[in-house]
Amino acid sequence: MSVIVPALRRPIIVWDLVLSILLTLLGLGIGALVSLSSIFLVMAADSCGGSRECNLPQLTGGWLIAMIGPSVVMLVTLVLTVVRLVRRRMTWWLPLTGIVVELLVWWGAVSLVFASVPGPN
């Protein structure tokens, strides 16, 4: 007769769980803030037309990336964080990395928008 031994699971690291949840909530808040503030990037096109020639496809692409990019990054970060928490792996670094990546994506998109509008002559 064989004895079935339950698989040993990793212990829950409470500080990692709490820090991961707090950083994920912070990242979601920052993502919502930068996505909502990206609505106003469309005003960069106000100076286009007349004597100024703007790169409208670049402006539109940058604006869409600024609107959608941070949300996509945080959604992926949220899913990966939950998966790692369920598997009881160290997770605190993942939401922190997600925050940095979402801010870099937003900054890059804003740079695209401002690069598409020529400066004053």
CA distance 51 to 35: 31
**Residue 4 DSSP one-character state:** P
Q: Using N-to-C axis directions, what is the helix angle for 14-37 and 93-115, rounded to 10°?
A: 10
At 4, the pLDDT band (50, 70, 90 cuts) reads confident
Higher local confidence (pLDDT), 115 or 120: 115
- Looking up tokens 């960069």 gives 44
Over residues 35-88, the pLDDT tens digits come to 899 989 888 888 777 667 888 899 899 999 999 999 999 999 999 999 999 998
Helix, coil or strand: residue 49: strand
- The token pair at 32 is 């919502």
